[in-house]
Amino acid sequence: MLSVVVLISGSGSNLLALLQATKNPLFPAKVLAVGSDKPAPGLEHADLYGVPTFVVEEKHFASRDSWAEKLGENISHLDPDLIILAGFMKVLPKSFVAKFSPRIINIHPALLPNFPGAHAVRDALTSGARETGATVHIVDEGVDTGPILAQEAVTVLPADDENTLHERIKLVEHKLLIDTVKFLASKQLEPSKVG
């Protein structure tokens, strides 16, 4: 059984998909806790599933490193096999990545290496791309640069705006995330060897 801590910043639809998957007794992962950098609406999903939550806000710390250290303390005492960034919108400092690597994965709403960064859906639309998608990758010290674990394409429709396209991408992300967690559980979590 893979033990997981999920970090979110927003609505938490990927978190909800994962929590729903864990209701199946055959699903090989358990969510130990959900953390956030703000009082994110998605934390309610964890509450409904009886999963503990924690919020560590950067504004209460003198530096990004001390914020990330506190965030890491909230995670390390749980000793999870895997940390999932599911819409966690802060870039984590090198010290945090070094502490938990390669056991951190991220979900990104584009076919990396295309459209990295915080506005991937908007950037895909602006570029006129006919296809974008979703990626799950191992987090390294860069922004959306780590080894790719899974990807799936999504067609951009002529009538799409940022919202409609993002919602279709999220449906793909939910499935991709669950499949990746199952895959990592089956490999006894050696993402550095499968990335």
Cβ neighbours of residue 75 under 8 Å, at least 6 residues apart? 5, 33, 35, 83, 100
Region from 20-28, 45-53, 105-113, 187-195 binding ligand GRF, contact rule CB under 6 A: 105-113
Closest CA to 114 of 142, 87, 145, 138: 145
Region from 6-14, 20-28, 30-38, 66-74 binding ligand GRF, contact rule CB under 6 A: 6-14
35 belongs to the binding site for ligand GRF (CB under 6 A): no
Strands 29-36 and 53-55 turn out to be: parallel
168 belongs to the binding site for ligand GRF (CB under 6 A): no
Which residue sits closest to ligand GRF, CB atoms considered?
A: 87
Q: Are 58 and 67 in contact (CB under 8 A)?
A: yes
14 belongs to the binding site for ligand GRF (CB under 6 A): yes
Closest CA to 46 of 6, 77, 85, 82: 6
3-state secondary structure of 65: helix
In whole angstroms, the minimum distance from the beta carbon of 84 to ligand GRF comes to 10
How many residues sit close enough to ligand GRF to count as binding (CB under 6 A)?
A: 14
108 belongs to the binding site for ligand GRF (CB under 6 A): yes
12 belongs to the binding site for ligand GRF (CB under 6 A): yes
Among 7, 31, 86, 184, which residue interacts with ligand GRF (rule: CB under 6 A)? 86
User: CA separation (Å) from 91 to 22, 85, 107?
Assistant: 28, 10, 13
Q: Which residues bind ligand GRF (CB under 6 A)?
A: 8, 10-14, 42, 86-87, 107-109, 170, 173
- The residues that are catalytic are 108
